[in-house]
A and B are shown apart, each in its own frame.
Chain A
Amino acid sequence: MSRTHVSCNINGEDVEFLTADASSLLDALRNELGLIGAKEGCGTGDCGSCSVLLDGRLVCSCLVMAPEAEGRDVVTIEGLAEGDHLHPLQKTFLEGAALQCGICTPGFLLAAKALLDANPNPTETEIRYGLAGNLCRCTGYDKIVKAVQEASVELRGA
């Protein structure tokens, strides 16, 4: 089976890896690089559990072929905290009980980061639509939406 050499930047570090051509970025992250924070809930881009940021844009890593990461910046859940500081979204998710089983949480945190990067002061409706590509079956979304609202306040220093 032929394997492709990929150089990219993951969570601020230059990384090289070999991957099967047919491998998804999700499989490469999990199996080649040991970054297990992105989850496979469906493998068809419908649940958002595998969400990562690719050049700052929110993508389902199960729908990106691993070789497509060549030369690009990838941010995974493992890169969301900065050093010893949790990202404000991680803090508000914890404090607001915005996770139950936690399998969807990495995807939601990255989707919420992508949303707040693009729109620092979203309305509740904008948050709900911004997170509509991510499925959560435990929380009913209520506390997730509130945690994003809280983080938005904190990030704006309001």
Chain B
Amino acid sequence: MTATENPTGYKWIGTRPVRHDGYEKVVGKARFAADLDLTGQLYTAYVRSPHAHARVLSIDTAAAEAMPGVKAIVTGADFPDLDPLDPNYDVSINVMARGTALYHGHAIAAVAALTKAEARAAAAAVAVSYDVLPAVLTIDEAMAEGAPLANEENYQKFAPPGDPTNISTHTPLERGDAAEALAGADIVIEREFDAAHVHQGYIEPHACVVDAGLDGKANVWCSSQGHFMIRAVTAGILGRETSRIKVTPAEIGGGFGGKTTVYLEPVALLLSEKSGRPVKSVMTREEVLRATGPAPGCKMRVKIGATKDGELVALDAWMAYSLGAFGDFAGMVGAMSVASYKFPNLKLEAWGVLTNTPKTAAYRAPSAPHAAFAIESVIDEIAIELDMDPIDLRLKNAAVEGDLTAMGMPHPRIGFVECLEALKASPHYQSPVPEGASRGVAAGFWFNIGEQSSATVNLNEDGTATVLTGSPDIGGSRASMALMTAEELGIDVYAITPVVADTEAVGFTDVTEGSRATFATGKAVVEACRELIGELKIRAATIHGVEPDQVEWIDGAAHVEGKDPLSLAQITEQAKRTGGPLTATASLNAAGAGPSFAVHCADVTVDEETGQVTIIRYTAVQDAGTAIHPSYVEGQMQGGSVQGIGWALNEEYIYNADGVMQNAGFLDYRIPVASDIPMIETIIVEVPNPSHPYGVRGVGETGIVPPMGTLGNAIRRATGVRMTSMPMSPPKVLARLSENN
């Protein structure tokens, strides 16, 4: 599709209509996965490993099977063995252990029974004997010479050749000569950082209802960030044909990356097949924390050199991410996510490390917050050392179009400089720092992705439109689809019904991830609308007896010189005699997702007696390309900021020496509440993405990247202490303050 300039004077883009799915959500009618019930359904309970690492010697289900209400039990033995190189291998092992429990909470067996209580009682009666193995819990332990293996079956898909280790990925990136540049720099700052695992913390626990028939077909209702992914992975794990599984998306109660994978569905499908009944499976909060994806922890060393006038000449960084018991790409992506700045010389070494902790999952700009915490902290030290304004230092080095990313590819048109300038001119930054407080600034970015999307737009007889997409709406994307449709067709936004359609009602669509829904699925919607407008012109030409090229589509009506305009409704009501129903479908693999940059600013006070950090003012600036629905762009910025604040100041997985999480509930894994934070002021910068018809850049993820550096920098300027370990919680801040005194 040809890109257009971002014209001013859109009728619908940039407006703030009430979202189409809002009413049901404020009256309690919206159906999330746990709100669905089928007649005769069974309930599940899981047997989970009490050890962080153990060989499963035997599983005896006989007593449990004989208990009241029990209809089916599955264990790892019920799953097909996949080739270790199968893309679903790790997920398959994660949803049900095969012979070895790899973390505390790893699923060992699951029971389906008539009631939840009966299922729980039977799960408790499943007898499992274990041979406890050494558990590897930290990056230091895992990378130590001769370390025990966290996962003996780590088949080293992406790891260096040689004897098995706990290394899953090793990513070296280099350009120029960092060592030489650092030796010649006027100032070199080096610091070490670490961070604990944190959870995405969606309020809706994972849930599904599965009804598998004797005909080999299965219906799945669940909440996820991608129901086509649920279908593909469930089919892949169980060795089924994709088309035999239908997945209907329920409303999703938060995901943030954590619902881009599968936990319950294949297990519930097997239980449904074994019992011949529908199965409803809902995780408890404790299960969510113990067995679903936290974000990785990390350990990093970052060294940056600069000239005395503030030119950053080299970055030398060593970054390790603890991935849990299975490999993924976090280390690699973390290394790639560092280059917001020009850095002519770069030496990066990133590691993905296996530990006996839950399999990590994506969390909003996965792995970038860790890297940004480290790099933005060191850059702030340079600003302090050189007595430079932290925004000016960043402006001097900010990447612009054509500058190379860490992988060596040039940035497309990006808005980092514009974000820095917007913060510099903001009321917040222009105001004096309040007495007793101090101010921190930091930046962040995320690549964003395109991927595959489909959309179908059906024009109804009365001139309204129904828009079907396959992208679960996790933050207002239905409103965005309706706004883009309204702008294209020229009809009222409320004449449009945006629908997240099931796997049999719309074309294949990748997961809602990588801030891609409004960008890529929106692009498919616009393409379908443009095809429809072509067809509407043909119909109008038929009605008027002219050639289609004599018809112009303006503001929702077909215009032919010398004739009265024909509205969309006038054309659809005559569809039967002009060629039949009006419908169009577009599918694409979207290229050109625009990277999104953000810069945050916080004023904080630090209580020197308790170590408590209080945020008194916070501003988030972000490049949205074009804000389709500004309220939901602000919502992404504010939500991402507050998740980042929680990550920075308070949230952490606390494991005991045996690898058992000690705070597996919302009381002790405490996410920010309303009284912890101030208003989050937002400034939306709009540097249009030339690869989207309206200039959209994804906005979902970048907002979580800057808060850690922002707060660390504010604490440094308040206390003189550089916090290098997340969370920067009161006990840790207090300990550093007392060291300093």
Contact = CB atoms under 8 A, between A and B. Distances in A.
Contacts of B27: 37, 77-78, 80-81, 86, 90
Contact of A36 (B28, B282, B641, B665): B28
A116 interface: no
A132 B665 contact: no
Given A97-B476, A128-B675, A44 B667 contact: yes
Interface string A55-85: 0000000000000000000001110110000
A99 B28 contact: no
A39 to B, nearest CB: 7
A129 B643 CA distance: 19
A144 B35 CA distance: 24
A37 B28 contact: yes
Given A94-B22, A105-B26, A127 B204 contact: no
Contacts of A94: 18-19, 22-23, 26
A61 to B, nearest CB: 13
Contacts of B665: 42, 44, 46
B462 to A, nearest CB: 23
Contacts of B23: 94
Given A135-B203, A135-B666, A97 B635 contact: yes
B675 A36 contact: no
Contact of B26 (A38, A93, A131, A133): A93
Nearest to A100: B475
Interface in B630-671: 631-632, 634-635, 638-643, 665-667, 671
Interface centre among A46, A93, A127 (most CB of B within 10 A): A46
A60 to B, nearest CB: 11
A154 to B, nearest CB: 15
A131 B675 CA distance: 8
Nearest to A76: B28
A118 interface: no
A153 B474 CA distance: 30
B35 A138 contact: no
Among B22, B201, B252, B474, the most chain A Cβ lie within 10 Å of the Cβ of B22
B677 A140 contact: yes
B204 A46 contact: no
A77 B28 contact: yes
B32 A39 contact: yes
B597 interface: no
Interface string A117-153: 0000000110111011111111111111100000000
A2 B29 CA distance: 31
Nearest to B31: A36
A97 B19 contact: yes
A101 interface: yes
B442 interface: no
Contacts of A105: 25-26
Contact of B253 (A86, A101, A128, A134): A101
B671 A137 contact: yes
Contacts of A86: 26-27
A90 to B, nearest CB: 4
Given A139-B638, A140-B642, A41 B204 contact: yes
A95 B18 contact: yes
B679 A145 contact: yes
Contact of B28 (A35, A137, A145): A35
A15 interface: no
Nearest to A45: B667
Contacts of B673: 131-135, 141
A25 interface: no
A19 interface: no
Given A90-B26, A103-B203, A97 B16 contact: yes
B30 interface: yes
A53 interface: no
A28 B203 CA distance: 21
B251 interface: yes
A47 interface: yes
Contact of B203 (A38, A49, A90, A125): A49
A106 B203 CA distance: 13
B202 interface: yes
A142 B679 contact: yes
B674 interface: yes
A42 B21 CA distance: 25
A10 interface: no
B284 interface: yes
Which 7 residue pairs spanning A and B have beta carbons closest together?
A: A37-B28, A103-B253, A102-B25, A140-B638, A140-B642, A77-B28, A97-B631
30 contacts: A35-B28, A36-B28, A39-B32, A41-B205, A42-B666, A44-B667, A47-B203, A47-B285, A78-B28, A81-B27, A97-B19, A97-B631, A99-B25, A101-B202, A102-B21, A104-B203, A109-B26, A128-B675, A129-B674, A131-B675, A132-B674, A134-B674, A136-B203, A137-B671, A138-B635, A140-B677, A141-B638, A141-B674, A141-B677, A143-B634
Interface of B: 16, 18-19, 21-23, 25-32, 34-35, 117, 200-205, 251-256, 282, 284-285, 474-476, 629, 631-632, 634-635, 638-643, 665-667, 671-675, 677, 679-680
